[in-house]
Amino acid sequence: MLNPTVPAWFEIPTADMDRAQTFYEGILGVPLKREPMGETELAVFPYGGRPHVSGALIRHAECEPAIQGSVVYLSVENLDTVLQRVVQHGGDTIVPRTEIPGDMGFFAQFRDSEGNRVGLWSAA
């Protein structure tokens, strides 16, 4: 049976961990914590405790950045601020701030420093 807090964890592939960590720390304004796991290198996003989820940037030989495929959405306070920082840090806006019907908030998508498509969601 599926738990109500979906997802439990996410990973965003990177080719260059230093570049990716600098990009995400710059656009989100938070530090990521490096965590080596064998041959895998992680930079973990802040975790708010249960029932919240977190994830990490991941560098591993079998994980490649991609513009196509699943999209991870990061919850942020202000989409416009983060989208401005995306461009300042070398990314591109793919989908601008868009309202979700039914008072469900707003979303946007961007291309990160590694070439991934990543989403943003905000209540306001």
pLDDT of the residue at 86: 98
pLDDT of the residue at 46: 92
**Residue 67 in domain:** yes
**Residue 93 in domain:** yes
Q: Per the omega criterion (within 30 degrees of 0), is the bond before 65 cis?
A: no
pLDDT at 94 over 80: yes
Q: How confident is the model at residue 105 (pLDDT cuts 50, 70, 90)?
A: very high
Domain limits at 92? 9-122
**Residue 104 in domain:** yes
pLDDT at 7 over 90: no
Tell me the pTM.
0.92
**Residue 62 in domain:** yes
**Residue 4 in domain:** no
Q: CA–CA separation, 23 vs 110, rounded Å?
A: 12
Q: Rounded mean pLDDT of the chain?
A: 93
**Residue 1 in domain:** no
**Residue 53 in domain:** yes
Which residues share a beta bridge with 75? 121
pLDDT of the residue at 48: 79
**Residue 111 in domain:** yes
pLDDT at 91 over 80: yes
CATH number of 25's domain: 3.10.180.10
- Cβ atoms of 14 and 23 within 8 Å: the answer is no
pLDDT of the residue at 4: 76
**Domain total of the chain:** 1
Q: What is the pLDDT of residues 36-87, one digit of tens each?
A: 888 899 999 998 777 778 899 999 999 999 999 999 999 999 999 999 999 9
